[in-house]
């Protein structure tokens, strides 16, 4: 996009798009069909620098920033949403807390292999009784000797059953509010006490492991504390703006993927002796879809620029995520409508994008919660409490 992305950013997009066409598109149908992502693709992305755009070179990354992360997210998601959901859960949701709050030793051990695509990470927040209200967390960590003992359950955790490492939040002090009594830990799933309860069968995102797991008297060393005891809520909140902005980039990709099928089909499909694109009922849908995709991308870009500049991006990251998620679902829905019965079959990819896009009005912060955050920031800026 001339005037909005730099030459370097556009060149990077072209390189990622080329990688996606060569390495990801050929396996996307297999991932969908077999409900499995081959680990080799993470390593390939790592060798191309795709998994490390947010992280410093000394820890295996390229430190290009959130704008580049949204480019990666959009390009991969325009072909294989499930793969990028898994990649992002590892490199962004898991990786950014380590990037910002980890010690040198933690980053070398637990971030570098993630940035290189050699290992897989996950973020453990959601619980059976805890969703948007993270302050109601029940997973606990009790001090024992030089370390901690963790007990509790987490569910709907992307990469949960196949992750090597998890950034996990637990209550370490029940005598105070969770905002002061929560602590973040880096755990290894190979440690004794980690138990997978089940992987969920999902409406979409086939290939992704979405997991309910338990921690049963898991002994964790003091060195696993991330960001300091009682600082977990700070770690959790800090990660959200980059996460929401990156998810917005994914949503642009979903919309693009569906739109890409709708446009040529509208010209190829003949009814009443002419292409259905000749009818305003179809062509106006194309116009609406094109406009919404561009608007979502620009809002996402602005939020990413704020993140990269170290500015408060709460309002714009929330706006980008809400708008892009709603846009993705609307565009996929309209694209399916343009394709008609063909769109409802698995002969086209529109139905996959439709199913995958629906998740993003829930995951990464529901649209309702984000609208609450947006209005709160608006009133705050206007001088109201």
Instruction: Identify the CATH number of the domain in which residue 292 sits.
Output: 1.20.140.10
Q: Which of 120, 153, 185 is the last residue of a domain?
A: 120
- Do the domain assignments include residue 40? yes
CATH of the domain at 195: 2.40.110.10
In a domain, 2, yes or no: no
- Per-residue model confidence (pLDDT) at position 206: 97
Shared domain check, 251 and 187: no
Same domain, 268 and 286: yes
- Helix extents (H) in the chain: 7-19, 25-34, 40-47, 66-77, 81-88, 95-101, 104-106, 112-115, 178-181, 232-268, 280-308, 314-339, 350-358, 367-381
Q: What are phi and psi of 355, to 5 degrees?
A: -70, -40
* Inter-residue contact 309 to 303 (CB < 8 Å): no
Ranges of the chain with pLDDT below 70:
1-3
Number of domains in the chain: 3
Is the same domain home to 248 and 313? yes
Q: 40: how many CB neighbours lie within 10 A of its CB? A: 11
For residues 258 and 329, membership in a common domain is answered with yes
Q: Let me know whether 259 and 281 are in one domain.
A: yes
17 belongs to a structural domain:
yes
Q: What is the pLDDT of residue 159?
A: 98
Is there a single domain that holds both residue 65 and residue 54? yes
Residue 351, in any domain of the structure: yes
The neighbouring-strand residues paired with 194 are: 215
Give catalytic status of residue 9 as yes or no.
no
For residue 370, tell me if it sits in a domain.
yes
Position 1 scores a pLDDT of: 55
pLDDT value, residue 129: 86
Which of these is catalytic: 243, 250, 261, 351?
243
Regarding whether 203 and 98 lie in a shared domain, the answer is no
Looking at the structure, tell me whether residues 261 and 347 fall in a common domain. yes
Inside any domain, residue 72 = yes
Domain membership of residue 63 (yes or no) is yes
281 and 215 in one domain? no
- Rounded Cα distance, 81 and 28, in Å: 9
**CB-CB neighbours of 65 under 10 Å:** 17
Which residue range(s) make up the domain with 307? 240-381
Q: Per the domain annotation, does 1 fall within a domain?
A: no
Domain ends where: 64, 91, 120? 120
Residue pLDDT, tens place only, 222-272:
999 999 999 999 998 887 899 999 999 999 999 999 999 999 999 999 999
Q: Which domain-ending residue is among 191, 206, 233?
A: 233
pLDDT of residue 237: 85
């Amino acid at each position: 996009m001339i005037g909005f992305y730099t030459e370097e950013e556009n060149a990077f997009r072209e390189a990622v798009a080329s990688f996606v066409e060569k390495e990801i598109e050929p396996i996307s149908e297999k991932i969908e069909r077999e409900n499995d992502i081959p680990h080799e693709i993470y390593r390939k992305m790592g060798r191309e620098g795709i998994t490390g755009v947010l992280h410093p070179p000394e820890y295996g990354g390229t430190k290009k920033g959130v704008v580049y992360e949204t480019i990666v997210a959009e390009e991969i998601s325009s072909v294989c949403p499930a793969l990028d959901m898994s990649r992002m859960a590892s490199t962004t949701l898991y990786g950014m807390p380590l990037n910002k709050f980890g010690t040198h030793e933690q980053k070398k051990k637990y971030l570098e292999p993630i940035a290189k695509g050699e290992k897989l990470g996950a973020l453990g927040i959601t619980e059976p009784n805890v969703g948007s209200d993270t302050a109601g967390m029940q997973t606990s960590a009790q001090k024992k000797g030089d370390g901690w003992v963790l007990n509790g359950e987490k569910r709907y955790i992307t990469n949960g059953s196949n992750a090597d490492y998890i950034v996990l939040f637990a209550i370490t002090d029940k005598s105070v509010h969770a905002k002061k009594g929560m602590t973040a830990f880096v755990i290894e799933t190979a440690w004794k006490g980690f138990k997978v309860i089940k992987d969920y069968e999902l409406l979409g995102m086939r290939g992704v492991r979405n997991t309910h797991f338990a921690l049963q008297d898991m002994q964790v060393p003091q060195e696993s504390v991330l960001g300091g005891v009682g600082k977990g809520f700070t770690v959790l909140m800090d990660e959200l703006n980059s996460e929401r902005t990156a998810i917005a980039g994914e949503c642009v990709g979903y919309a693009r993927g569906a739109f890409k099928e709708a446009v040529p089909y509208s010209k190829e499909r003949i009814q009443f002796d002419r292409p259905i694109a000749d009818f305003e009922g179809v062509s106006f849908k194309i116009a609406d879809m094109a406009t919404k995709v561009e608007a979502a991308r620009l809002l996402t870009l602005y939020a990413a620029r704020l993140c990269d500049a170290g500015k408060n991006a709460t309002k714009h990251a929330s706006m980008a995520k809400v708008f892009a998620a709603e846009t993705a679902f609307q565009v996929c829905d309209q694209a399916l409508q343009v394709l008609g019965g063909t769109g409802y079959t698995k002969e086209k990819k529109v139905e996959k994008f439709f199913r995958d896009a629906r998740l993003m009005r829930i995951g990464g912060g529901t649209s309702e919660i984000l609208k609450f955050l947006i209005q709160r920031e608006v009133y705050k800026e206007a001088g109201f409490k």
